[in-house]
Amino acid sequence: GGGSNDPRGALIVLEGLDRSGKSSQSARLVSYLEGIGHSAELWRFPDRTTSVGQMISAYLSNESQLDDHTIHLLFSANRWEKRSLMETKLKSGTTLIVDRYSYSGVAFSAAKGLDLHWCKAPEFGLPAPDLVLYLDIPPEKAAERGGYGDERYEQLEFQKKVAECYHALRDSSWKIIDACRPMEEIEKQLQGIVLDNIVACKVGKPISQLWS
């Protein structure tokens, strides 16, 4: 293994509002893929383990205050600091299932009123996902599920704005998943879509860059 002609892994991102089921479905997907013999890893952004990630975490838990532009750039920096490892893993054949990515970065900042194009700019050149699974749920329904914590952004009125901003980011790599259905039904649907996508990547589709 490891040769440059070996099949690469797929970069698969789950996006959606808080409480849409991203984290549960990401974890289930990785267990499923590993169970059928694929090399797969669960990643998430923000990655709170790095020093940039710790600044982000302090901001989200309201322990620190930051200018909206500053925190936006920190979220982006948190992806850039993981870029080379991301590319290494993909090239070595590992599929990455990523819980939130640049779309969260843009949608949450644009929902505060920052310019959409300004928000997208620092993401230019990051690896583009092969597939974005958008777990679609009305903000009111997500809020009804309970389990919003005390972190910044976990409020219904703000989530409504985030949903609108997500909408503006949809492109051909997106699959809209009805996230109001039972968890097992969604899980089965995602397994099928992801397997097809992994196969497509193995037959030589190159990794592209945001935003394409």
| Minimal distance, residue 36 CB to ligand FDM, in Å | 27
Q: Is 59 in the site for ligand FDM (CB under 6 A)?
A: no
| Minimal distance, residue 181 CB to Mg ion, in Å | 22
CB–CB of 20/137 below 8 Å? yes
Find the binder of ligand FDM among 16, 21, 46, 129 (CB under 6 A): 46
Question: Residue 45 touches which of Mg ion, ligand FDM, none (CB < 5 to 8 A by kind)?
Answer: ligand FDM
C-alpha dihedral sign at 56, 98, 162, 114? positive
| Minimal distance, residue 109 CB to Mg ion, in Å | 15
The pair of three-digit structure tokens given for residue 46, joined into one six-digit string: 């923000």
Which one, 6 or 151, has the nearer CB to ligand FDM?
151
**147: alpha, beta or left, given left = phi > 0 and alpha = psi -120 to 50?**
left
Helix (H/G/I), strand (E/B), else coil: 177: strand
Question: Exposure pattern of 138-159 as b/e (b: 16+ CB <10 Å)?
Answer: ebeebbeeeeeeeeebbeeebb
Q: Give the interface segment with ligand FDM, choosing from 32-40, 102-110, 166-174, 202-210 (CB under 6 A).
A: 102-110
Which residue ranges make up the site for Mg ion (CB under 5 A)?
18
Which residue ranges make up the site for ligand FDM (CB under 6 A)?
18, 45-46, 60, 75, 100, 104-105, 108, 153
